[in-house]
């Protein structure tokens, strides 16, 4: 008998269910007084560096109906392209920007709004710069394993054209599913869970 690799298996995922708000955004669903505020509700303060942007995100099911019980988290670099994380070896990120936010979809409209800053460019593994992007993680009732994807920006056409992850998408017609449309000072981004416009989700 050969040796054992002695590895554990990752805990299997289970859906966040319809009451995810109780655990992750209790103030949002009327459970007051346990935490002073919901974690991840505010991403910037007046000393945060960078261009202020607003992301209007919706998550749509296979019939095109917005989910009203989903929860979206985002993770991004600061304006200089540095992550506020121990894994960031290239320098210290903006101390006034954690780079992580959390927002439940509105129970009436399905809209999820993040007020954040435009991230700088982060290098790919080989040193080429990726286009500015924000990582998304989506959970909800009916989603068995949290979905990872990215939001890129429509006004970064040149950078998007050089992005090594976007370049890996075989069916070019699907690239726009990862690009948020600029409308005034806001970016609008619809995540399609299914159908012709299904968003490109990641296994990384």
Partner 1 sequence: MSADPGSNRRPEAGAFFQRDRTWHPPALTPGYKSSVLRSPQKALLSFDNTLSEISGPVFGHAMLGELDNDLIHNFARPGESAIGERIIVHGRVLDERGVGVAGALLEFWQANAGGRYRHKKDGYLAPLDPNFGGCGRAITGEDGSYAFRTVKPGPYPWPNGPNDWRPAHIHFSVFGHGFAQRLITQMYFEGDPLIWKCPIVRGIADRAAIEALTALLDTQATIPMDALAYKFDIVLRGRRSSLFENRLEGN
- Which structure tokens are listed for 153? 């920006």
DSSP designation for 129: B
Quick check: 123 binds partner 1 (CB under 8 A)? yes
Determine which residue in the list 3, 4, 11, 45 makes contact with partner 1, applying CB under 8 A.
11
Q: Are 137 and 75 in contact (CB under 8 A)?
A: yes
CA 202 from chain centre, in angstroms, equals 12
Binders of partner 1 among residues 135 to 194 (CB under 8 A) are 135, 137, 139-148, 150, 165, 168-169, 174, 193-194
CB of 184 to partner 1, least distance (A): 27
Q: How far apart are CA 201 and CA 204, in angstroms?
A: 10
Contacts of 10 (CB under 8 A, 6+ apart): none
CA 183 from chain centre, in angstroms, equals 19
46 versus 63: smaller Cβ distance to partner 1: 63
Quick check: 45 binds partner 1 (CB under 8 A)? no
92 versus 113: smaller Cβ distance to partner 1: 92
Quick check: 112 binds partner 1 (CB under 8 A)? no
Binding string, residues 12-31; x marks residues near partner 1 by CB under 8 A = xxxxxxxxxxxxx-x--xxx
């Amino acid at each position: 008998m050969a040796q054992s690799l002695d590895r554990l298996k990752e805990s299997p995922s289970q859906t966040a269910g319809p009451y995810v708000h109780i655990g992750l955004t209790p103030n949002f669903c009327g459970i007051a007084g346990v935490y002073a505020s919901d974690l991840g509700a505010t991403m910037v303060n007046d000393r945060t560096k960078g261009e202020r942007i607003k992301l209007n995100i919706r998550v749509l099911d296979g019939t095109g109906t917005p989910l009203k019980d989903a929860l979206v988290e985002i993770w991004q670099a600061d304006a200089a392209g540095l992550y506020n994380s121990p894994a960031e070896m290239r320098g210290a990120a903006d101390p006034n920007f954690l780079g992580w936010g959390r927002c439940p979809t509105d129970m009436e409209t399905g809209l999820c709004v993040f007020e954040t800053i435009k991230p700088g460019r982060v290098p790919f593994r080989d040193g080429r710069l990726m286009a500015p992007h924000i990582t998304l993680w989506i959970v909800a009732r009916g989603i068995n394993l949290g979905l990872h994807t990215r939001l890129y920006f429509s006004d970064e056409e040149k950078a998007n054209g050089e992005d090594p992850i976007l370049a890996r998408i075989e069916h070019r017609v699907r690239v726009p599913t990862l690009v948020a449309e600029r409308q005034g000072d806001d970016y609008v981004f619809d995540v399609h869970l299914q159908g012709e416009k299904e968003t490109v989700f990641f296994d990384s």
